[in-house]
Amino acid sequence: MNFSQSIGSKRRIGLIALVLGGLLLGACGSGGEPQATTGVTQVASPGSPAVHVPSGPPPQHLVVKDLVQGKGRPIPPPSPEPTVEFSIVYKAVDYDTGELYEENWDPKSPWPFRSAPGEMVPGLEKGLVGMREGGRRELIVPSGLAYGNGALVYVVKVVEVRKLG
Neighbours of 148 (CB within 10 A): 8
Q: Say yes or no: 136 and 156 in one domain.
A: yes
| Model pLDDT for residues 40-52, shown as the tens digit of each residue | 555 556 688 999 9
Calculate ∠ Cα 61-129-36, nearest 5°.
Answer: 55
Q: Say yes or no: 11 and 67 in one domain.
A: no
Q: Say yes or no: 136 and 154 in one domain.
A: yes
The Cα 134–Cα 72 span in angstroms is 9
pLDDT at 40: 55
Range of the domain at 19: 1-30
Q: Say yes or no: 67 and 117 in one domain.
A: yes
35 domain-assigned: no
Give the C-alpha distances (Å, rounded to integers) separating 47 from 44, 96, 107.
Answer: 7, 24, 10
| Model pLDDT for residues 86-130, shown as the tens digit of each residue | 999 999 999 999 999 999 999 889 999 999 999 999 999 999 999
Q: Say yes or no: 110 and 151 in one domain.
A: yes
> How many structural domains are present in the chain?
2
Q: Confidence class of residue 27 from pLDDT cuts 50, 70 and 90?
A: very low
